[in-house]
Structure formats: structure tokens, C-alpha cells
Amino acid sequence: MSSFNAISLFWSGSHSIYVLLMAYGASTATTTLPCIFYILKEHSNMTTSQQLILLSSYIPFFVVPLLMAIDMGLRLYSIVLSADSKQKTK
């Protein structure tokens, strides 16, 4: 699936894209976090300005996907609860 297809599905309100966006967000956030920790740990090998430049590059690639994963998880949770309550009323 191309990025354009994913964006168009998201903007059209398709719920089928939620699982993929949650997986993408969680995967991206969890693979970026070790990079951030490494930058923080190896502060003796770089100047403060180099460290800030690297952190300013990596932190958005951690925060935005993390928020995306949380948002999609909450959306999926509400869909599951709604379906479950509908099933119980039958």
C-alpha cells in the first residue's frame, strides 16, 4: 500500500486503516527510542550542540508516531467496545 492510499483511506474515515497506522506508529516509536537513548548515553563523544541537533531530529520521529499509535489504539478500543455492546443487546 502506498502512502497516498493510506492517507486517502485515513481522510475518508475508513476504519480499516486504523490497525495499520497503529502498527506503524508503535513500530516507528519503538525503533526510534533506542536511538534517542544512545544519543543521551554517548554525550561524552559529541558536543552539546551536536547532541541537540540529533535530538531535535529524532524526537519528532518518536513523539508523532507514538501519539499516532495511542490515538489509533483508542479508536480501535472504542470500536471494539461499541461492537461488543451491540452484540450483548441482541
Please, where are the H alpha helices in the chain? 3-11, 18-41, 48-89
DSSP 3-state assignment of 82? helix
pLDDT value, residue 11: 76
Residue 36: inside a domain: yes
Contact 66, 29 (CB under 8 A): yes
Query: What residues make up the domain containing 76?
Result: 15-89
pTM over 0.85: no
Give how many domains the chain has, as a whole number.
Answer: 1
Distance, CA of 85 to CA of 82 (rounded, Å): 5
Residue 9: inside a domain: no
Residue 23: inside a domain: yes
Residue 5: inside a domain: no
The three grid cell numbers given for residue 65, joined into one nine-digit string = 508516531
Residues present in the chain in total:
90
pLDDT value, residue 72: 93
Residue 8: inside a domain: no
Distance, CA of 12 to CA of 31 (rounded, Å): 29
Residue 2: inside a domain: no
> Each residue of 33-75: pLDDT tens digit?
999 999 999 878 899 999 999 999 999 999 999 999 999 999 9
pLDDT value, residue 69: 93
